[in-house]
Amino acid sequence: MMMKKWICLLLACLIGTQTALAVNAGTAPNPPVTFTDVPADAWYIRQLETLVARGAISGYADGSFAPDATMTVAEYIRLLVSCTVPEQELAAYETGGSWPEKYLQAGNAIGALKGFDCSQQRIAKPVTRAEAAWLLSAFARYGGESLTVPDGIGRAVRDYKTVSETYREAVGMACGAGLLTADSAGNFQPSVPLRRCEAAVSAVRLLYKEQRPLLVLPDYDYAAPAPASAPVEDSFFSDAVFIGDSLCDGFGAFSGLTQGTFMGVTSLNVYTVWNGGREQVFQTQKFGKIYIMLGINEIGYGTEKVAAKYKEMVQKFQSLQPQADIYVQSLLPVCESKTSASDRRNHVSNYYVRELNTALQTVCEECQVYFVNLHEAFADASGGLPAGKCWDAVHLNVPGYKEWLAYLRTHTVG
């Protein structure tokens, strides 16, 4: 009986006092409602069917549910309090004041809201996914659960490291417990408002552990460079495209690789990569692998700025070529003894090369693409490019390009 009351209250909280949905707690179940804006194959349909079967909810007068509408922080707190605090205990917090006060007092009394910003200004705003994770984790712990952040959570939640420190641990615990999940691309999107359909599902998962999805951690550690592997034949690259600047152009011309598609263009950078009809190529042709070599031309623009644009580019490649494995190749070291005054003015130095490579490795971790550490294959004891492997400060000679190919052959991910 208590569980039935909790389920009835669940949707009452979801809709708040301002909605037209009618919840029938403690009465005979309503006939099932077919929501006009909920398709039969909606990902949250099972949870709604459960609630409808229990007579917990009916729709708007027009038969809709508004699954994509947002809810405020106050409404979400009300939802979770009603799911976890017995009805007779809630009655003790009836004060005759505004409706949120009852649920805020109850949440504070059990300790689930300790440390959470419950100011009137905050609770009137839409609840974000990060805030929902914080609240879900707190209420789950109040219910006796021991939540932890799984090791390697960043491999399953690509944008985990971008979550603010205030909410990061809670996001890790909520995803680890299956209370909330990342999207199909592996991103949690912490600042995006939680939708009503997501709120309903998350609350039902709080009540029923068997409805929580299992977090699957990818075996591959995208935070690490591609490890050494058995050498592959040239046929491995038959469905690959190599896109990049003049270094990529030289690789296509002098490495000896005869298979694959080469799109190396002098002076190409992350800001011009889609120009010249190249975007259309990726819209109309499919590739199994995409090898990227960019960064040296824009190194003077600022590492943070370039890395952000690089990430945007990688994500667009993922959108255009979802079936492709993406390999981001690190910048090569430079031969500083050969750098010109112009090179030095443009920050072409091994200090900035290392700085940008570190940023690119982070981009690979966040986007879950492969980072190929070419730098380690060419750097000498001082971290620079040996003069015998290049004809200027940056570009390799023929033996150098062949060495590049040999490294790629032995650093593939299957």
Alpha-helix runs per DSSP H in 232-298: 246-254, 278-284
Torsion sign, CA atoms 54, 56, 60, 64? negative
pLDDT the model gives residue 354: 96
Stretch 236-245: mean pLDDT: 97
Coil vs helix vs strand at 395: coil
pLDDT the model gives residue 60: 67
Nearest to 356 by CA among 400, 293, 407: 293
Which residues does 106 contact at the CB level (< 8 Å), separation at least 6?
81, 85, 89, 90, 93
Burial (0-12, 13-18, 19+ Cβ within 10 Å), 371: buried
Coil vs helix vs strand at 126: strand
pLDDT the model gives residue 97: 74
> How far, in Å, CA of 338 to CA of 340, rounded?
6
Instruction: At 303, list the tokens.
Output: 């590492």
Q: Which residue has the higher pLDDT, 4 or 271?
A: 271
Residue 21 has pLDDT above 60, yes or no: no
Mean pLDDT of the chain, nearest integer = 87
> How far, in Å, CA of 287 to CA of 155, rounded?
24
The DSSP H or E segment spanning 352 is helix 350-367
pLDDT the model gives residue 33: 53
Burial 261-275 (b: 16+ CB within 10 A, else e): bbbbbeebbbeebee
Residue 269 has pLDDT above 90, yes or no: yes
HSE toward the beta carbon, residue 258, CA cutoff 13 A: 0
Q: What's phi and psi for 328, nearest 5 deg?
A: -90, 115
Contact by Cβ (8 Å): 55, 21: no
Coil vs helix vs strand at 166: helix
* Of the candidate ranges 66-75, 81-90, 247-256, 376-385, the one whose mean pLDDT is the lowest: 81-90
Nearest to 127 by CA among 176, 162, 80: 80
Place of tokens 């590492």: 303
Residue 181 has pLDDT above 60, yes or no: yes
Instruction: At 80, list the tokens.
Output: 């979770």
Q: What are the domain boundaries of the chain?
A: 2-142+193-202, 234-409
Coil vs helix vs strand at 87: helix
DSSP single-letter state for residue 271: T
Stretch 219-235: mean pLDDT: 90
Residue 1 has pLDDT above 50, yes or no: no
pLDDT-derived band at 184 (thresholds 50, 70, 90) equals confident
Residue 236 has pLDDT above 80, yes or no: yes
The fraction of the chain above a pLDDT of 90, given in percent, is: 65
| Encoded amino acid at 212, one letter | R
For residue range 3-19, what is the model confidence (pLDDT) as tens digits? 333 334 333 444 333 33
Residue 315 has pLDDT above 80, yes or no: yes
Q: Which residue has the higher pLDDT, 256 or 199?
A: 256
Tell me the fold of 234-409: Rossmann fold (3.40.50)
pLDDT the model gives residue 229: 92
DSSP track, 375-391: HHHH--TTSS--GGGBS
For residue range 51-77, what is the model confidence (pLDDT) as tens digits? 566 433 445 689 888 899 898 999 899
Contact by Cβ (8 Å): 358, 364: no
Contact by Cβ (8 Å): 106, 89: yes
pLDDT the model gives residue 59: 58
CA distances in angstroms from 344 to 110, 259, 337, listed in the order given: 62, 36, 11
Nearest to 278 by CA among 303, 242, 251: 242
Stretch 29-46: mean pLDDT: 74
Name beta bridge partners: 290.
Answer: 241, 326
Burial (0-12, 13-18, 19+ Cβ within 10 Å), 250: buried
Residue 286 has pLDDT above 50, yes or no: yes
